Amino acid sequence: MTGKIIKTKGQIEKVVGVVAGNKDLESKGELDRRVGVAKEKIGRMKGKVEAVTEKLEKGADKVIDLSARAARRK
C-alpha cells in the first residue's frame, strides 16, 4: 500500500477508535497514520535521490566524452 492509503486508513481507524472508546484501535490508527506519513516522506526523498543520481550520471557522461575527445587530439 502507498503511504497516503496507509495514512488515511490510520486516520479512519483512530476516529473509529475514539468514537467507539476503543483505545487499542485508536492507538493502532495513530501508528498506521504515522507509518503512512513516514512512507510518504521516504517516497519523496527517493524521488529526489533518483533525480540527483540522474544528473550525476549525465555529468559523468559529459566528462567522459570530453576526456575522450581530448585524448584523440593528442
pLDDT in tens, 3-58: 999 999 999 999 999 999 999 999 999 999 999 999 999 999 999 999 999 999 99
Domain that holds residue 28: 3-73
| pLDDT at res. 16 | 97
Q: Render the burial of 13-23: b for 16+ CB within 10 Å, e for the rest.
A: bbeebeeeeee
Residue listed under C-alpha cell 483505545: 23
Instruction: Please say if the pLDDT value at position 74 is more than 80.
Output: no
| pLDDT at res. 42 | 96
Q: How many domains does the chain have?
A: 1
Shortest CA distance to 37 belongs to which of 1, 67, 5, 7?
7
pTM for the full predicted model: 0.71
